[in-house]
Amino acid sequence: MGKPTGFKEFERETAPYRDATQRLVDFKEIYTDHNEEHLTTQGARCMDCGVPFCQSEQGCPVYNLIPEWNDLIYNNRWKEALERLHKTNNFPEFTGRVCPAPCEGACVLGINESPVAIKNIECAIVDKGFKEGWVVANPPTQRTGKKIAVVGSGPAGLAAAAQLNLSGHEVTVYERDDRIGGLLMYGIPNMKLEKKVVDRRVNLLKAEGVKFVVNADIGGAGKKGILVSQLLKESDALLLATGATTPRDLNIPNRAGDGIHFAMNFLWRNTKSLLDSQLNNGEYLSAKGKKVIVIGGGDTGTDCIGTSLRHGCESLVNFEIMEKPPEARADDNPWPLWPKIHRIDYGHEEAAKKFGQDPRVYSISGKEFVRDEDGKLLGINTVEVDKNFKEVPGTVQFWEADFILLSMGFLGPEHYISDALELELDGRSNYKAEYKKFQTSTAKVFAAGDCRRGQSLVVRAIDEGRLVAEEIDHYLDA
């Protein structure tokens, strides 16, 4: 519980990001170094709340033992805190950087005060663990001889692989890209999650015995394609953790043509070029000198903002169809629900620093893209909408742009692998498999993560990866 009176004595203070002006000139992580003394004080704010909602389903999908490791770091017992952290979370170095921290939204102290800085503390514990050499490979002492194929190396696939390997099974992870990590590698930009952090954990999994195969498109056509039927035949169980990778499009007039790109394609190509050549090979979509509009908010929209700014865009606007959130919880959004309030993320701060104002425009919807007679993108016409998303008459406006990014979420997984396996789909086109069961309609085939539940958080993917590993383990023992 930290210090009994800590929540009365100390105010919430989160670790600051690097200065916006300085971080805009590189793709290094936006975070500053951990201040252990400061974090010990923040851990002291954890109160003896009786029922710790932070580690409940409402707060933390992997049920992190948050009050326990808050108390441990308050008492300077960092190695023990790391052990408690790893007990429930395979990859706290990922969630400590990119998770929106629903645990903080459910913190009991947050009812009438600011919540404990849980996310900062989590990240500091695991980073110290790596720095001190406490995080080491832990291979199983014996093997079962059972073979499991995992398709997809994002957080769900990696978590499942880690747990199944720990049980002694022979696990092979297949990834269609050239690097392991899935969303962690190419979906989240380097300034939020440096790829050496991902590689570090992957190398540990390799040392523990997990096998990885890159450039392996299971069920796909072409040179990288691998027959899924053959893979299923050679495995005792097959896990699909392919993610939700079909982007939502904006099908308004003049959509076809140059200048309009899906957000994930923009981010993927940027990170690959950055890792391959520090952007020197030019094999990415550059926003340099462009009038950029990002359509859609959320984390991916913010990442598009931050990346465009680092390219050197001429101007930047971010459209959100939702109305501007309130500064504090609304009456219909009580604790411990996730607080739907106005937030300023790193990209918004950077845009304001460069252009003098927050880039977001709320309650706005695209009507048609505007092109000249040669098809060149000139911009977009929009209309204001009310809270029910109905158009407000007389509010049509033209916005100049020559580079538009669509960041409106994802519809579900791609289906060439599910078609080959004849999987049953749910009403939202996801692979149909019951939560905590994870078995699909095809024998020996399981599904977990975003391909099963739809687009969600990294921490929820880790949760499903851990749980599906238990189910596969039980299935193999049956």
CB 73 within 8 A of CB 125: yes
CA distance 40 to 121: 8
pLDDT bucket at 238, cuts 50 / 70 / 90: very high
For the cut 90, the answer to whether the pLDDT of residue 58 exceeds it is no
Q: Which CATH number fits domain 147-245+411-477: 1.10.3720.10, 3.40.605.10, 3.30.1640.10, 3.50.50.60?
A: 3.50.50.60
Look at residue 57 in the predicted model and tell me its pLDDT. Answer: 83
Look at residue 425 in the predicted model and tell me its pLDDT. Answer: 98
For the cut 80, the answer to whether the pLDDT of residue 478 exceeds it is no
**pLDDT tens-digit series, residues 73-96:** 999 999 999 999 999 999 999 999
Look at residue 94 in the predicted model and tell me its pLDDT. Answer: 98
pLDDT bucket at 459, cuts 50 / 70 / 90: very high
What average pLDDT does the structure give for the chain? 96
pLDDT bucket at 220, cuts 50 / 70 / 90: confident
pTM: 0.96
Percent of the chain past pLDDT 70, that is, above it, reads 100
Look at residue 221 in the predicted model and tell me its pLDDT. Answer: 76
> Looking at domain 249-408, does it have CATH number 3.50.50.60?
yes
CA dihedral 403, 404, 405, 407 (to 10 degrees): 160
For the cut 80, the answer to whether the pLDDT of residue 2 exceeds it is no
Look at residue 224 in the predicted model and tell me its pLDDT. Answer: 73
Mean pLDDT of all residues in 380-402: 97
Domain ranges of the chain: 6-131, 147-245+411-477, 249-408
For the cut 80, the answer to whether the pLDDT of residue 214 exceeds it is yes
Mean pLDDT of all residues in 103-117: 95
3-state secondary structure the chain: CCCCCHHHHCCCCCCCECCHHHHCCCCCCCECCCCHHHHHHHHCCCCCCCCCHHHCCCCCCCCCCHHHHHHHHHCCCHHHHHHHHHHHCCCHHHHHHHCCCHHHHCCHHHHCCCCCCHHHHHHHHHHHHHHCCCCCCCCCCCCCCCEEEEECCCHHHHHHHHHHHHCCCEEEEECCCCCCCCHHHHHCCCCCCCHHHHHHHHHHHHHCCCEEECCCEECCCCCCEECHHHHHHHCCEEEECCCCCEECCCCCCCCCCCCEEEHHHHHHHHHHHHHHHCCCCCCCCCCCCCEEEEECCHHHHHHHHHHHHHHCCCEEEEEECCCCCCCCCCCCCCCCCCCCCCCCCHHHHHHHHHHCCCCEEECEEEEEEEECCCCCEEEEEEEEECCCCCECCCCCEEEECCEEEECCCEEECCCHHHHHHCCCECCCCCECCCCCCCECCCCCEEECCHHHHCCCCHHHHHHHHHHHHHHHHHHHHC
Look at residue 235 in the predicted model and tell me its pLDDT. Answer: 97
Look at residue 48 in the predicted model and tell me its pLDDT. Answer: 84
Percent of the chain past pLDDT 90, that is, above it, reads 95
Q: Do domains 6-131 and 147-245+411-477 have the same CATH topology?
A: no
pLDDT bucket at 142, cuts 50 / 70 / 90: very high
Mean pLDDT of all residues in 332-349: 95
- For 214, counting Cβ atoms within 10 Å of its Cβ (0-12 exposed, 13-18 middle, 19+ buried), the class is middle
Mean pLDDT of all residues in 259-275: 98
Look at residue 268 in the predicted model and tell me its pLDDT. Answer: 98
Mean pLDDT of all residues in 6-23: 94
Mean pLDDT of all residues in 3-14: 91
**pLDDT tens-digit series, residues 276-320:** 999 999 999 999 999 999 999 999 999 999 999 999 999 999 999
Provide the CATH number for the domain formed by 6-131 in this structure.
1.10.1060.10
For the cut 80, the answer to whether the pLDDT of residue 222 exceeds it is no
Look at residue 50 in the predicted model and tell me its pLDDT. Answer: 87
**pLDDT tens-digit series, residues 428-448:** 999 999 999 999 999 999 999
For the cut 80, the answer to whether the pLDDT of residue 233 exceeds it is yes
pLDDT bucket at 3, cuts 50 / 70 / 90: confident
CA distance 43 to 2: 6
